[in-house]
Amino acid sequence: MKIELLNVRIFISKNDVVVDAIGNHKNSWKEYYTCYATVSGEAGKEKTDAGMVVDDSKIDFTIRSCKLADALTSTGYRVQFNGALYDILAVNHMNYKHKCIKLSCQKVRR
């Protein structure tokens, strides 16, 4: 993997359950890991749903492998890039060579 291709910074958040003072359980996103990545496979897609234009953009991030990145799953983590949030659809470990990990993501609807 060529290091000069890792030219954008991404932030990965982890979904945690937090208990407040009176015992209520809430989901919250906490910062988990930040790294540099390569952006590829950008596919912009818009559709109309109930009279609103919905952005369903998909994007792929390739990051270097490490212990924290190896723990990523598609259900408990998300990516923040350029102020936008992306849900992780799939985590590809690239034949488990422990060199890089490819995250296939879709923009979060808000």
- Write out pLDDT tens, residues 80-109: 999 999 999 999 999 888 899 999 999 887
Reduced to 3 states, what is the DSSP secondary structure of residue 28?
A: strand
Domain boundaries along the sequence of the chain:
3-107
Q: What is the pTM of this model?
A: 0.83
Could you give the dihedral angle defined by the CA atoms of residues 42, 47, 53 and 54, in that order, rounded to the nearest 10 degrees? -50
Q: Which residue pairs, CB below 8 angstroms and at least 24 apart, start in 41-46?
A: 41/104
Q: In terms of CATH, what superfamily is 3-107? A: Bacteriophage SPP1 head-tail adaptor protein (2.40.10.270)
At 14-27, the pLDDT tens digits run 999 999 899 999 99
